[in-house]
Structure 1
Amino acid sequence: MPAGGAPPGAAPDPSVPDPSVLDAEEVARAHRVDPAAGLSDAEASARLVEHGPNELRAARTHPLWKRIVAQFADPLIILLLAAVVISIAAWIIEGAHGAPVDAIVIAVIIVANAVLGLVQEARAEHAVAALAEMTEARSQVLRAGRIVTVPAAELVPGDVLVLAEGDQVGADGRLLRANSLHIAEASLTGESQPVEKDAATLSAPASIGDRNDMVFKGTAVTRGTGRAIVTATGMRTEMGAIATMLDETESEASPLQTEVGRLGRMLGRVVIVIALVVMVTLALVEGIHSLADVVTILLLGVSLAVAAVPEGLPAVLSVVLALGVQRMAKRNAVVKSLSSVETLGSASVICTDKTGTLTQNQMTIERVVTASGTVELGGVGYRPVGSATVGGRPLEAGPLREEAELVLGAGSLANDAQLAEVDGTWRIEGDPTEAAFLVAARKLDGVPERAAGFERTGEVPFSSERKMMSTVHRRGDGTAYVLSKGAPDVLLGRCTRVRVGDGSAVLDDAGRERILGEVEALSANAFRTLGVAYREAPEFDAVPAVSGVDAGRAAAPEDGATASAAGQPGRAAASAPDDVDETHERDLVFAGVVGIIDPPRPEVRPAVAEAHAAGIRIIMITGDHPATAARIAADLGIIEPGGPARTGAELDAMDDREFRDAVRNVSVFARVSPAHKLRIVDVLQADGQVVAMTGDGVNDAPALKSADIGIAMGITGTEVTKEAARMVLADDDFATIVEAVREGRVIFDNIRKFLRYLLYSNMGEVLTVFLGVVFAGVLGLSQASGDAIVVPLLATQILWINLVTDSAPALAMGVDPEIDDVMARPPRGIHDRVIDGRMWAGIASTGLTMSIATLLVIDVFLPGGLIPGGTDGIDVARTAGFTTLVFMALLAPFNARSEYSSAFRGLLSNRWLLAAVGLGIVLQVLVVTLPPLQTAFGTAPLDWAHWLVAITAATLVIWVEELRKAWMRWRRSSRRK
């Protein structure tokens, strides 16, 4: 809890304890301010210099050079940089003839990857910045006895804040006085209801949500007026405390970053082993007779090392993630870092705030309960459109409609809120609960027209002690009415009759018990309840009342009025205001009760169901009341009706083991603090879960930063929250999160696809060279070549295969459409590998098939060896084998598209892959047939027989893998049985 005082030497006394437990006069003395006059301009300026601006510390930004260096910190990039160095060293040893093509190609890939990463980060920053509010906050303060408006950044401790409806609270402060003051603190505490404030001193320290004699920076006044002494500014405010916690919270590396780093380290070791084994094998089998043999062995070792490393991986990975980012941006999800796209696909738990995330954050009347029954109102939010039904059937004319019209009409007149349509969007000013009456009244046809001619002539304002308010409204004919609304139990104490149809009946004890029972039933379903009552008030009549006048039929706004009148009908002051007090709140007629709730977003329930089907757990973490939280969670399918909810107080009473058990078994947490949210996320992560955390308030920011991926709301979210998050939802739509999960899973599948494909090809190259060296004599290679060192593929051919396979086909794999239903399986575990044992088995199987087929084709055309009858020289046979390996590498992507499904499923769905394979075939034909390329890559012309054998042998990579997949599908179906 930030201290209310300032640092030593500042104007306020540094020993000031929590101001909420101090008398207001004592706080004023401690801050050396006269509450009636405020600070002088000179004193305010001096304190501003001493304390600094009333601003939160700006987020640390990294200079460009650090961001550039960060692009090269990936282990795989470091490995490729080492490959560049080795390639240049081998080129120098060979005599530095021509250009080091392989080194140049790898360097270009590395630079392109870095540029792509920097560009995407910059784009994400601009997109997030575009969501931020651009207006400067301002506050009214008392300075030298005058009320002046100053930028909120210039507020200092000791300033006297002047608060009114619609104001943003510019700093933390201790209330001096409050008149029906209600403040919306959802952004700080998660509480959906505006909090009623009272200047009375607290008897003991309390949590933020219960400090009713304090106001806090970043909150908003929804009703009433008040004055407060500023006790903390900037980073010393409660919002600043959360910002400090945010600075101290470490960001977690994404699962993809962790896995790619692990893969890079593993491949680095494998590359070194492969190069050493092949070079040692060559030296032992062939022998070293000259320096030229040493150079040849080194060059082949480097070529194999480069072949074993999928140098296209970083570039393809960045491109795939960037394309995923663009697709998500079109769906209103702004991703700030590339790796975060995939993280959502790995999420096993989504921890979500309630207010404004799962709900509309717009109080809505859903029930109207009167003597004749219950009316259910449809529609959500502040858009005044919705159905009125009874038991599922439309509400028809009759006593129940008469009563419902009276309740909503009278509640709209005894009202201080405003409702207006601005640029096609309905907005409110004032208390959201009061605004709910204005919205609901417009859902009953004909009610708005009946407010014409009414004007307010008096008011008894709401207070926490009375728990009700009343207004006097007069019609054009002079008839006056007292209209009251408030807590039902309080209101019933002032009523003697109850409205029934177009008349009234005596309210006896049985009637009171029935009404209270209905109120309890609404409360049990998490509705906030308000009662409405009225009476004719002849003492305020300007002219004799007209008999039979129906107050209910008149108590509604006139449709099509001005913004002010439409929002609050009959609010204009009469020329002769009535002198109204509590004595006039008597002999009332009880009209009915309304049930108000912040309703769920309609798109959330199906999104929750889809998440559950995908094995993702949804946990609601909110500062709201537990009954309300449980009701909303049950409505959305997060828990079963009647499921448990735990409060922050209950969590505080638990030891570590009990806390862990609660997090594992409970999916609704209410009345929690930011520290609770952070601890829940930490426990889930320690349990091996990949956690996505959504939220919009400042109180959510530390947990968002600590989670594997934090998701901020772009519309209702605070700037602190957006800064902490890795993803921002521009539409605040929870369903967008589930779509992003699907996108993340598709991206991860595509990462596995091109990894599988790249390693297919690389394994095939490595095994071809290794087995070709070991079995050179058996295959007839030694006899056919006059060279001291005999290899099945030349170094330049290995690099060519790498260039053809690691570029266009790999990129095409990265944009492959969804082949298997990614949401029909549970999320991958945090310890699951990108390349698991089953995938390695497929890679080894395909690599072995490719190497054996390549070597057998070479053997077919060479004299001697395993297959007799060959008559060609080493150049032709090697070219045929080289072509076979390239064609197999170009067919392998179709195998790699799914671990289980046939290569022929969706064969034509990826036009980019078809184009890439076609391009690769054309390039290989040119390498074999064009003389300049023949010289560069050591190839020889092939006749139709060579081409036929090469193409036929290349198809083996499809048929062998089809047999393996069929066997795997059979095994999987057998296990399910």
Structure 2
Amino acid sequence: MAEEQPRAKVNGDIHNITVEDLYDKDKYDLSTMEQQDVMQLLQTQPEGLTSEEAQRRIEKFGHNKLESKEVNPILQFLGFMWNPLSWVMEAAAIVAIALSNGENRPPDYPDFIGIVLLLIANAVIGFLEERQAGNAVKALMDSLAPECKVRRDGEWKTLEASELVPGDIINIKLGDVVPADGRLLQAHGDVSIDQAALTGESLPVGKEAGDEVFSGSTVKQGEAEAVVIGTGTNTFFGRAAKLVGDAGDDIGHLQSILAKIGNFCLSTISLFLVIVIIVQYARFRYSYRRGIDNVLVLLIGGIPIAMPTVLSVTLAIGAKQLAEHKAIVTRITAIEEMAAVTILCSDKTGTLTLNKLIVDKPTIKTYSEEFDGDAVIQLSAYASRTENQDAIDFCIVNSLPEPGLARKGIKELEFKPFNPVIKRTEITYINEADGKTYRVTKGMSHTVLDLCTRDKTEATIKALNDDVDEFARRGLRALAVAIDEIPSGEVGAEGIGFKLVGLLPIYDPPRSDTKETIDRSIALGVSVKMITGDQLAIAKETGRRLGMGDNMFLSKALKDGPPAGSGYTDIDQMVLHADGFAGVYPEHKYEIVERLQAMGYMVAMTGDGVNDAPALSKANVGVAVADASDAARSAADIVLTEPGLSVIVEAIIGSRQIFQRMRNYSIYTCSVTIRIVVGFSILIWAFQFDFPPFMVLIIAMLNDGTIMTISKDRVRPSPYPDAWNLKEIFSYAIVYGLYLTASTVAFVAVCLKTTFFTRKFGLQQFSDPNDFILHSVVYLQVSTISQGLIFITRSRGWFFTERPSILLVCSFIVAQLVAMFIAVYANWGFTQIQGCGWGWAGVAWVWNFIWFAPMDLIKFAMQYFFKPKQQNPEEVKAAASRRASAISGTGSGRYYANRTRSLRSMERPQNFANKLLGTAGKRMDPKEMRRLSSVQATHAGRVLSSGGNNA
């Protein structure tokens, strides 16, 4: 009866079982249930499901992917008009149409229409640019959907992995990525699965019929059929989404910065609005309608309505450019955060290392004068499989000059593959050179040593044990090799006794570009920490080989505190100064990132496995490297499509370029807010000068049209991590804004209070501060010098030494021509302007040139007071010192120092900068990205298309 009870649970129609109940382990534990019960519960057969039944199950269980929220394009478009800055402009539109009545004048329809058009224009530009960038990336990734072999309608078919449902029968073989969680029905030969992406283990795990396999793992040996028991969010890594989701609730860093910039502008406008309203009504006794017009001038001219659009477009275009250079951005605001990263936390297996075992040839040990290191490798290759290999056999065979040498010169009689019980492999063969029969074994050192009976001395035993201990301290795995001669030549016959030949050191080597990547990261002001689930000894050895240091600790130190003698007084200090941590689990990675963030550091986390997903999501920037699991890609903000970390350095440089564009614009737009609000307020107080609201709209439209092109401008990246220094931005804005205000106030004062322009140039003398011609002249003066400010804010040196993009120059010229022709020829009575003629236009231009010339000097003075400081100097210097110490005594010391100085100077954009500008660089071949999944294809495109709002 006890055995029948679980069988009773599985009777019934699967369509009557809820999804929640099916994956409730208290009711149906599909991973431990008897195999026949699994088949019965899922109502499937070895012949597979029918297409009709599979479709029914898709409707019930969903597709085999991590769903991302679909964004409504209409809501996405309206989102550009639903933010605090847009609300103020919308309020201005209401003022123009509803409150601008009285004095026998109709509502201010021109201003109302102009404001609405400005709002729509900004929304359309932002929507189209983001949509285009998002669609480009989505199209790139849609071609990457993985496929699998599944049995449908009694036949084997190749389908997209997203079409799998519980109950499907799938075939997996060497090299395949397991497409869904399943139970093996039958195994052909020895099956081993690489679960490094899930557990961080370097070695594959053997599997047999009845065992569970997990989505995202890789078949390293053998072939098998399996029944699918979990898809989509109900897989092993799908269930980790809760922790990943918990880390994604914070307000984005960029959004908080934009809110502060917006608050600065709104506060400035509000302050001067109150003062202007009081002055014009209480002191000057303005009429209601005249006062409302001045209110509109401050509202329309002061609100940086284009700011959300410009920054969004800058990020969207940047994301598209990065995607073309092997760094796919799934949350576009992560670009800004990548530019500010100061600490890079990196997983070891598959990220810093190849996740591919190799023989450390210089460290091979021999225990007989008959054999050298090459002979040890050759004999161990004899004792390795040449087909359907596991990771160790593949490693050893490929350490030969040619893999074919693994069987050259011998005739194989019998091969015994690795047995987890005896922990060794064995081959019996005839040596064609002497005709003798030999038996060679390789395996665990002590297992092989116990087999040896020939020439086994105390000295040999001690030497082997010492070598094994040394390998362990250095994080190297040890394989012993022994040989036996069989005089009778018969398989299975007794030989003369095994003789110990040598000891092979095996390790997971660093990627070829990892050292350089760490060098460049440190040179860019970013320190690197290793966080791995592997052993401490292995982590330290990897750190030594990479020159990143071996000041590493076990994960238990995060709970127990710094080890005695470490020199650290608390956990935070240890985490900050450690080179890495070993033996960590997901919660440890999460905690390390969280602690660093709590200390004020911007943290990036790289990884490739399910165990990295929570920390990837928690980090300011999560980076999934090539070959990463679906869970890691879904949690990451940036997905690299080239192996290793080298692309991340280029992504950092590219992100810093994009950040510089956003910073330049922020200074510009805050400066314009100050100059419009303060400038026109002073003109009202000093001269009772009433500027037409509609002309402020024209200025805003021309400025926005020009400034949109900054998203593709040429800029130099910072040699240090970038960060939003709002004090600096607001200080620049106040100084620039007040300077431009002074230029306009002084110009109007000269026009009204002196006869200078009349005497020198024979121009009309103004006596009325609201002369329509004076309105045109002031419009031209304000419009032209305001647009010229962008060339000051975009450059660090003299503005004429840093070549802007052709698009920016052309848009500036067009805007200047439009502004000039409006000022010279327009006679628009509805907005109180009259053509000023070429004489006054020339005066306005000369005046602006005179005031524009010293602006670089003002910029240099501001730079003196706001000298860029290296972020986190103690940490970065410590990392640089460790690296310099690690490479001292080698031939690369001088080269490293020169490269560091070169990177720090950054006098010219690096090669990647030129690529970003479209002047060089090859496009990414989609075939190189075939490993990326349909999960990320859906997620990345939708997130980019939505502007990152659902990331």
TM-score using structure 1 length:
0.74
Q: Distance in 1 between matches of 2:439 and 2:150?
A: 38
Q: Does the 8 A contact of 1:173 with 1:214 survive in 2?
A: yes
Task: Provide, for residues 427-472 of structure 1, a one-character-per-residue CA deviation record: whole Å limited to 9, x for no partner.
Answer: xx531221111211026xxx95684453422123322332211111
More relative contact order, 1 or 2 (CA 8 Å, 6+ apart): 2
Q: Please identify, of 89-98 and 520-529, the stretch whose mean Cα deviation from structure 2 is larger.
A: 89-98
Task: Provide, for residues 123-161 of structure 1, a one-character-per-residue CA deviation record: whole Å limited to 9, x for no partner.
Answer: 33343443342x125599xx9xxx99999987879x999
State the one-letter code of the partner of 1:822: S
- Look up the SS of the partner of 2:294 in the other structure: helix
Give the alignment partner of residue 604 of structure 1, picking from 486, 496, 514: 514
CA apart distance, 1:602 = 2.0
Give the alignment partner of residue 583 of structure 2, picking from 654, 665, 671: 671
Task: Provide, for residues 64-105 of structure 1, a one-character-per-residue CA deviation record: whole Å limited to 9, x for no partner.
Answer: 255455555443344444444444446777525775234312
Q: CA, structure 1 residues 866+297, in 2 after alignment: closer, same or farther (shift >3 Å)?
A: farther
Q: Equivalences for 1:131-530 in 2 at 5 Å?
A: 131-133=144-146, 135-136=147-148, 138=150, 171=181, 182-196=192-206, 215-223=213-221, 238-288=236-286, 293-367=287-361, 369=363, 403-418=372-387, 429-442=388-401, 448=404, 451-452=407-408, 454-475=410-431, 479-495=436-452, 506-530=455-479
Q: Distance in 1 between matches of 2:576 and 2:829?
A: 65
Q: Does 1:872 align with 2:765?
A: yes
Q: Does 1:918 align with 2:813?
A: yes
CA apart distance, 1:16 = 8.2
Q: Does the 8 A contact of 1:254 with 1:343 survive in 2?
A: no
Q: Distance in 2 between matches of 1:454 and 1:10?
A: 55
Task: Provide, for residues 854-892 of structure 1, a one-character-per-residue CA deviation record: whole Å limited to 9, x for no partner.
Answer: 222222233559999796125454444433323321332
Q: CA, structure 1 residues 154+273, in 2 after alignment: closer, same or farther (shift >3 Å)?
A: closer
State the one-letter code of the partner of 1:920: A
| Higher alpha-carbon Rg | 1
CA apart distance, 1:287 = 1.6
Q: Equivalences for 1:931-970 in 2 at 5 Å?
A: 931=826, 938-942=833-837, 944=839, 947-948=842-843, 950-960=845-855, 962-963=857-858, 965-966=860-861, 968-969=863-864
Q: Does 1:851 align with 2:762?
A: no
Q: Does the 8 A contact of 2:361 with 2:373 survive in 1?
A: no
Q: Distance in 1 between matches of 2:332 and 2:436?
A: 68
State the one-letter code of the partner of 2:478: T
2:85 paired residue number: 76
Task: Provide, for residues 369-418 of structure 1, a one-character-per-residue CA deviation record: whole Å limited to 9, x for no partner.
Answer: 456799xxxxxxxxxxxxxxxxxxxxxxxx99x72332222222322254
Q: Does 1:798 align with 2:693?
A: no
Q: Distance in 2 between matches of 1:974 and 1:60?
A: 40
- Look up the SS of the partner of 1:822 in the other structure: coil
State the one-letter code of the partner of 2:750: V
Q: CA, structure 1 residues 621+8, in 2 after alignment: closer, same or farther (shift >3 Å)?
A: farther
Q: CA, structure 1 residues 678+74, in 2 after alignment: closer, same or farther (shift >3 Å)?
A: farther
Q: Does the 8 A contact of 1:252 with 1:708 survive in 2?
A: no
**Structure 2: gaps of 5 or more residues:** 12-21, 563-568, 874-951
Q: Distance in 1 between matches of 2:116 and 2:160?
A: 58
Q: Distance in 1 between matches of 2:385 and 2:579?
A: 38
State the one-letter code of the partner of 1:326: K
Q: CA, structure 1 residues 472+659, in 2 after alignment: closer, same or farther (shift >3 Å)?
A: same
Q: Does the 8 A contact of 2:149 with 2:171 survive in 1?
A: no
Q: Distance in 1 between matches of 2:697 and 2:45?
A: 78
Give the alignment partner of residue 644 of structure 1, picking from 528, 549, 552: 552
Q: Does the 8 A contact of 2:367 with 2:500 survive in 1?
A: no
Q: Does the 8 A contact of 1:663 with 1:684 survive in 2?
A: yes
Q: Distance in 1 between matches of 2:674 and 2:395?
A: 67
CA apart distance, 1:163 = 8.8
C-alpha root-mean-square deviation of aligned residues, in Å? 4.6
State the one-letter code of the partner of 1:511: T
Q: Equivalences for 1:620-639 in 2 at 5 Å?
A: 620-638=530-548
Q: Distance in 1 between matches of 2:309 and 2:663?
A: 15
Q: Please identify, of 8-17 and 723-732, the stretch whose mean Cα deviation from structure 2 is larger.
A: 8-17
Q: Does the 8 A contact of 1:358 with 1:600 survive in 2?
A: yes
Q: Does the 8 A contact of 1:712 with 1:721 survive in 2?
A: yes
Q: CA, structure 1 residues 165+804, in 2 after alignment: closer, same or farther (shift >3 Å)?
A: closer
**Structure 1: gaps of 5 or more residues:** 200-211, 375-398, 419-428, 498-505, 542-577, 777-789
State the one-letter code of the partner of 2:424: M
1:549 paired residue number: none
Q: Does the 8 A contact of 1:155 with 1:171 survive in 2?
A: no
Q: CA, structure 1 residues 650+172, in 2 after alignment: closer, same or farther (shift >3 Å)?
A: farther
Q: Does 1:822 align with 2:718?
A: yes
Give the alignment partner of residue 708 of structure 2, picking from 788, 811, 815: 811
- Look up the SS of the partner of 2:418 in the other structure: coil
Q: Does the 8 A contact of 2:485 with 2:497 survive in 1?
A: no
CA apart distance, 1:775 = 1.0
Q: Does 1:927 align with 2:828?
A: no
Q: CA, structure 1 residues 32+138, in 2 after alignment: closer, same or farther (shift >3 Å)?
A: closer
State the one-letter code of the partner of 1:328: L
2:903 paired residue number: none
Q: Distance in 1 between matches of 2:449 and 2:262?
A: 73
Q: Distance in 2 between matches of 1:251 and 1:922?
A: 48
Q: Does the 8 A contact of 1:767 with 1:848 survive in 2?
A: yes
- Look up the SS of the partner of 1:514 in the other structure: helix
Q: Distance in 2 between matches of 1:129 and 1:197?
A: 33
TM-score using structure 2 length:
0.76
Task: Provide, for residues 765-792 of structure 1, a one-character-per-residue CA deviation record: whole Å limited to 9, x for no partner.
Answer: 222211111111xxxxxxxxxxxxx426
CA apart distance, 1:962 = 0.8
Q: Please identify, of 60-69 and 727-736, the stretch whose mean Cα deviation from structure 2 is larger.
A: 60-69
Give the alignment partner of residue 62 of structure 1, picking from 66, 70, 81: 70
Q: Distance in 1 between matches of 2:383 and 2:425?
A: 8
1:619 paired residue number: 529
CA apart distance, 1:355 = 1.7
Q: Distance in 1 between matches of 2:820 and 2:505?
A: 76
Q: Does the 8 A contact of 1:316 with 1:811 survive in 2?
A: yes
Q: Equivalences for 1:691-840 in 2 at 5 Å?
A: 691-713=603-625, 715-776=626-687, 790-791=688-689, 793-808=691-706, 810-819=707-716, 822-823=718-719, 825-828=720-723, 832-833=724-725, 836-840=726-730
- Look up the SS of the partner of 1:440 in the other structure: coil
Q: CA, structure 1 residues 853+674, in 2 after alignment: closer, same or farther (shift >3 Å)?
A: same
Q: CA, structure 1 residues 520+892, in 2 after alignment: closer, same or farther (shift >3 Å)?
A: same
State the one-letter code of the partner of 1:622: T
- Look up the SS of the partner of 1:595 in the other structure: strand
CA apart distance, 1:341 = 1.9
Give the alignment partner of residue 887 of structure 1, picking from 763, 784, 801: 784
Q: CA, structure 1 residues 709+450, in 2 after alignment: closer, same or farther (shift >3 Å)?
A: closer
Q: Does the 8 A contact of 2:383 with 2:442 survive in 1?
A: yes
Q: Distance in 2 between matches of 1:43 and 1:919?
A: 67
Q: Distance in 2 between matches of 1:430 and 1:39?
A: 32
Give the alignment partner of residue 95 of structure 1, picking from 81, 87, 106: 106
- Look up the SS of the partner of 1:768 in the other structure: helix
